Structures are given as structure tokens and as C-alpha cells.
Amino acid sequence: MIAQFKDHINKTKYTDTDNKTAAGQDEYVAKCKELIESMKKLYNKKLNHLTISPLDDYSDEKIRDVYMTPKIMAMRKDKKAFLKTEKQVNTYKEVFLTDNSVNPRIFIQGEAGSGKTTFLAKLALDWCEGVHGSIASDNSAPIFADLDALQCYEFVFHITLRNSVNQFDVYTMIEKQIMDSIYSPTDREKAYELVSEIMKHQRCLVLLDGLDEWTGPGDQHNLPTLVVDHIKCVMLISTRPWKLADGKVKHSDIDALFQLEGINEPLELSKTILSRLVDKEELEITYSAFTLYVEKQKLRELLSSPMMLSAIVCSYADGIELKGSKCDIYILLVESLFKKANSNKSTFTHPPFPLFTRTEHIQPNVENLNRLAEMAFHLLFVNERENAIVFSIKELKKFKIDEIKDFALKSGILSAQRTASALRSSSSFMFIHLSMQEFLAAYHIARNANLIDGIISIYLNRHPKAYLDISQVFIFLCGLDVSCAERLSSMTDERDASNTTTSTSRYSSHAMFNRTILEGCREANANGYSDIALKLSHFYFDNNNIIDLHKIWENNAANAIVLHVHIDDMKPLENQRISPGNDECASQITFDLHSCLELTHLELSGRCILGKVILICMAVGTVYSVREITDARCLILPVWAHWNFRSALF
């Protein structure tokens, strides 16, 4: 299919234009080739380097020298939602084509720091390299080595969406971010006309990075759009999962969806980064010690995130050891950033939270931290959404950050960029990463618990699906202050339980909220809070979460409204079996439903579920119906519950 696609491109390249004379056609072809070369120069300058340490902005390397192939899983379209499959995507062809048909709108979702931005940057650079750098795409070829698939697109436009807030037309974004960077003001009008012609007649790939950091003008624009004439353009959009789960992006808007789960060989990347940080003769010894450290502290899961990996590796190289807490890592990031701006050292006599005990560079700058955290919170929870990520000097003055602007910029916790306009030029600001802004917002909430029943409650009422939007803030809060996290989980669970959107969106939202609560519980445990009691009423169990999520179930059985247990026949639970009833057997996971008076929906699916299912009328205590699975277990349900058993054992 790729070969046929390329043949079609080669036949129509630069020739599919209307009413052009031969001379005009020659000029058009020349201008196209000139633009392609200019775009490649721009991308090689703008995208070619990657910061290998979140602790040091000046420690960067060429992407190709440190890039590790991503782990991307295909998602399949279901009636209710997109469901992750076990199929790993290893070629660009698999991203662009489904059943030999081109996907016009492709989404790649992944959590903060999973490598979405780097993947799109590497794709653009692979396009720049051209077919001469291509490796034949067969089963033995490296992952994403089929560069010939990229040559099906004559033009690849790379757009950073947070720099195009309040713009919704992709053509305008290309004008502002690409054409204005290539052409002088006197040449731009002709350049705009050229790119308009190109998007009408040439096969183009538009890379839109960071949908979750973008808002369009008004409520009617939930996605950047192409005009009708640009039908030959394909859009590849990266986003965090919550953006697709909130229901504003319609099911029909998504032609293909992929889940980016980090990198394939995290230890190999760890060694590559270590090779940049330690002497060559010490590398093997340091790397062996690092792998033992990762196993001892149970950090392997965090290493799948490139951002977390670089923080863990670089801190280890500096002699700092971590214990698997995301909060610990972000406190380390803050500590290291502050050190760049102010090298004074001092420890806390009374640290605001236990995690701050070992820090040395935060205490001398704690007032700066508190101001930045207050601004981070208000930008996310009070400001209009279009000003939440990228903001102006007005916000800096409002929170007196203008007084410490040099510190914030020198440390790197804030970054700035020039914004040109017809009247004047000015600066816009943003945090080093959205996840850093979310961590600081959580820190501010933990210091001001009254905000949960105040500003946050108002925010959640104003934006009914925003409880998904703040998932990262919630997870950080679980590691900082358990009581605040428990209160917020109760408030967000109420929103999740009252979700009145379509069944497709509702299912996605419940599943997303399950993952958020589960991640919050894990973060609390990593920080020594083993008795956290988070609220959850909709439970969706599968092979991957059954053990950890069951611990949350034990505290929430009386709150449970929905219980779905789906055990994949192809992935047995290492001899663990599910028992919907009382059970003394330690090898089995048991759901005792005696106290589940709120339960309205129950669904059990899979071959690992054992038990005798007995429906008992709770009001009179008599058996309503019996279905025999084995003679070992019982399931007790209120008769008003909707139940659906799809287990193959029946």
C-alpha cells in the first residue's frame, strides 16, 4: 500500500494545480522545493536537540544520539470507547494506514512526560532526512525505521499547539509558526499564498503537538480544523488521555488512536544518558550499580517515562537516590532548578511536608516557591482556560512574580518567548512543563486545604468534566497531603458518578477516573501513606489493575454503584482467580457484596471467575434465582441490581 501511495504522490507531485501555465507551473515547483529546503533547515535548528537532564537546560544532545524508540500500542474502536489492544505499533505505516486506508485524523495519547513531543519532533526530523536515510521496513528492521512511509507526504508541518491558543484554523497556525520563521515580512504574503496552494494540491502531514495545552476561541472549537479545500492533509495530534475522555472530541473525529506508553528499552536509554554524565572508564560500574538501585527501590515502572527516567538517572549520577515517588522527583526538580538561580543552602527546621526534609535549596527560596505555586494554582483553577498554560506579564504582576522574574527565568522554572504583533512586541510566559505547573498547584492546595471546598469546588461546578483535567494535580496531592487528597477524591467521585454524557463518553470517563484514583493510591503508598482512603464508586477491573484496585474496593464496597470485572482469557492472573463471594482461599481475589446496597450494575467477564452465583432478595432474605458455576462460591446481590454475566463458564 505504501508503494501504491508513493506512486500516486509521484504522479501528482506539483502537477495538481488548476489553470497554471507552464511557466507558472515551473515557478510553483521551484517555490515548493525552496520551501521544503527552508523547512528542513528550520526543523534541524528548532527540533534537533533534546535536553537530557530536566535539572540542566544546557545539558542537551542531538535527538538521534539519545533517542530511544517509543512503546506505542494500537487502540481499537469499540461502541463505547477506544480500547487498548496488545498490538505494538513498530512502523510509521501502521500509524498512517488502517486496513490499507489512510487515516485523516490520527491521535497519539500519553501521560505527562511519556515522550509525545519527542516522538513528533523525531518524525519531523526523519522526514527531513528523506528516503536516503530509510531502512527497509521488514520484521528485522529497527522500530520506526520505515522513513519511506514519510516520503508519501511532500510537506510535514510541525505545530506546537500551546503557542497557538485561540487559533483554530491549522492554516493560520502554519502561517504564524512556520512561514513567519522562514520568510521576512516583505515576503510573507506570497509565502502565505504558496502554502495555501500547497495544502490544496499536495499531500501534507500536519503534526499538532499538545492538544491538552490548547484551547480554541469559544466553546464550538474543540479541535484545530482544516478548511474544506485542504482535503489532502492528514493531521497527527498528540494529547494527554483526559482530553479525549472528557467527551468534547467526538468519536467520529478520531480515525485512529494510539497509546504512547513511554520507551521500549528504558535501561538502555539510562546507560546512554549515564555515558554523557560519567567518565568512560566508570560507565560499566556505574550502570551496574544503577540497575541494582532501580530494582531495590522499585523504580522500573517510572523509568518508562522519559521525563522521569532522565530525572532519576541524572539525580543518581549526582549522588541522590529516590524511592519511587513522583512527588519526590518533582521536589528534586524544583531543588535543582532553584540551585541554578541561587546556590545558597539551608535545610528546613519545620518542613512544610516530610518530602522537603532532605532539600537544601528550597528553604532559602521558599517565598519564591510559594508565589510561583499560588500563580500556578490560579492559572489552572481561576483563569480562563486560554490563559492557563501560556500567560502574560499581567499574571506575573498580579502574583508579584514580576519582582522575582529574573529568578524564575534564570532557574528555568519559567520560560519566556517573544510574541510579535502589528503594534508591539511583548513576552509570553509558561512553566517549564505543564506537569511542573500541576505539581506546584498541588503544593499550593496542600498548604491551603480550604481551597478544595472553595475555588476548586466552584471550578468543578463550572466545568463538569474538569475532574479528569486535574488528574495529575490530584495524584501529586496524594503524595503531599492525604487528608486533602481524600477530600478531593470524594468531590471528584461525585462528579464522576453524576456524569450524564453519552454512554461512550461516560464509559471512557469512568475508566479514566479509575486509573487516576489508582495512581493516587500508589503515589500515597510510595510516600509512606499506606492508610489513604480514596473515594470511588465505579469500578472497572482488568488483568492489569485487579490487585491494586481491589485494595481501594475494600474501603469502598458500600459506595460501589458499578462493578465490572473483565479478565482477559489470554492473560491469566498468575494463578490468581476471581471469586465473587466470601472466600478463605488466599490465592483468590474475593468480592464480598453483602454491603453493596448502592450497586446497580454488575458485569463479570472472563474464564478466571469462579463461584456459585446466588441472587438473594435482600428485603425478605429468600433466594431469587441460582446459576451454578462451581460448587465453591456465592455471590449475594440486591434484586434491584442490573446484572450481566458474560463469563464463558456459563
Give one DSSP letter per residue of 89-128, joined into a string.
E-SHHHHHEETTEE-SEEEEE--TTSSHHHHHHHHHHHHH
* Residues 289 and 319 occupy one common structural domain: yes
Furthest C-alpha separation in the chain: 91
Separation of alpha carbons 97 and 99, rounded Å:
6
CATH no. for residue 65? 3.40.50.300
**480: its cell numbers:** 503531599
168 and 276 within one domain: no
Residue 212 and residue 275 in one domain: no
d(CA 108, CA 241): 9
Task: Answer whether residue 553 shows pLDDT above 80.
Answer: yes
Helix axes 471-480, 503-526, angle to 10 degrees: 20
Can you tell me the distance from the alpha carbon of 209 to that of 226, in angstroms, rounded to the nearest whole number?
16
Q: What pLDDT score was predicted for residue 581?
A: 53
pLDDT on residue 173: 96
More confidently predicted of 623 and 416: 416
On whether residue 487 sits in a domain, the answer given is: no
| Three-state SS at 520 | helix
Residues in CB range of 461: below 8 A, 6 or more apart = none
Percent of the chain whose predicted confidence (pLDDT) is above 70: 81
Q: Give the predicted TM-score (pTM) of the model.
A: 0.73
Asked whether residue 314 falls in the same domain as residue 200, the answer is no
Q: Do 306 and 190 fall into the same domain? A: no
Span 246-250, average pLDDT:
78
Could you tell me which residues are beta bridge partners of residue 414?
Answer: 431
pLDDT digits (tens, 9 = 90+) for 162-211: 899 889 999 999 999 999 999 999 999 999 999 999 999 999 999 999 99
The answer to whether position 438 is within a domain reads no
Residue 194 and residue 283 in one domain? no
Shared-domain flag, residues 153 and 300: no
Q: What is the reported pLDDT for 9?
A: 46
Whether the pLDDT of residue 607 is over 70: the answer is no
Q: What pLDDT score was predicted for residue 612?
A: 42
Whether the per-residue pLDDT at 14 is higher than 60: the answer is no
In a shared domain, residues 110 and 238:
yes
Number of domains in the chain: 3
66-121 per-position pLDDT tens digit: 898 999 999 988 776 788 888 999 999 999 998 888 999 999 998 878 899 999 99
Q: Is residue 626 part of a domain?
A: yes
Domain boundary among 211, 244, 263: 263
Q: Is the pLDDT confidence value at 12 over 70?
A: no
425 found inside a domain: no
Q: Does residue 190 share a domain with residue 168?
A: yes
Q: What is the pLDDT of residue 547?
A: 85
pLDDT band at 157 (very low <50, low <70, confident <90, very high): very high
Q: What is the arithmetic mean of pLDDT over 532-556?
A: 90
| Domain coverage including residue 208 | 2-263
Of the candidates 101, 85, 104, 511, the residue with the CA atom closest to the CA atom of residue 258: 85
Q: Compute the average pLDDT of residues 333-340.
A: 85
Alpha helix ranges (H) inside 382-433 = 393-398, 405-411
Last residue of a domain, one of 214, 230, 263: 263
Grid coordinates belonging to 458: 466552584
DSSP result, 149-208: GGGG-SEEEEEEGGGGTT--BHHHHHIIIIIHHHS-GGGHHHHHHHHHHHHHHS-EEEEE
Domain for residue 413, yes or no?
A: no
Q: What is the pLDDT of residue 290?
A: 95
**Would the CA dihedral through 621, 622, 628, 632 be positive or negative?**
positive
The rounded distance, in Å, linking the Cα atoms of 364 and 56 is 20
271, three cell numbers: 546507560
Beta strands of 569-621 (E only): which ranges?
A: 577-579, 588-590, 601-605, 612-617
Instruction: Answer yes or no: is 476 within a domain.
Output: no
Residue 594 CB neighbours (<10 A): 13
pLDDT band at 410 (very low <50, low <70, confident <90, very high): confident
CB 614 within 8 A of CB 636: yes
pLDDT tens sequence across 280-301: 999 999 999 999 999 988 888 8
Answer whether residue 48 is part of any domain.
yes
Q: What percent of the chain has pLDDT over 90?
A: 45
Same domain for 273 and 252: no
Angle formed at CA 388 by CA 385 and CA 391, multiple of 5 degrees:
125
pLDDT (0 to 100) of residue 379:
95
The reported pLDDT for the residue numbered 447 is: 96
Give the domain-ending residue among 212, 234, 263: 263
In this prediction, residue 515 has a pLDDT band, given cuts at 50, 70 and 90, of very high
The answer to the question of residue 175 being in a domain is yes
The per-residue pLDDT for 636 is 40
The per-residue pLDDT for 477 is 97
* pLDDT, tens digit (0-9, with 9 covering 90-100), for 42-57: 999 999 998 887 666 5
pLDDT at 603: 80
Q: How confident is the model at residue 323 (pLDDT cuts 50, 70, 90)?
A: confident
645 with 622, same domain: the answer is yes
The overall average pLDDT reported for the chain is 82
Residue 255 sits in the same domain as residue 277: no
Q: How confident is the model at residue 577 (pLDDT cuts 50, 70, 90)?
A: low
| pLDDT one-digit tens code per residue, 437-449 | 999 999 999 999 9
* Range picked from 448-462, 495-509, 624-638 for highest mean pLDDT: 448-462
Pairing of β 105-109 and β 101-102: unpaired
Q: Are strands 82-89 and 97-98 parallel, antiparallel or unpaired?
A: unpaired
From 459-473, 540-554, 588-602, the region with the lowest mean pLDDT: 588-602
Q: Answer yes or no: are the C-beta atoms of 452 and 477 closer than 8 Å.
A: no
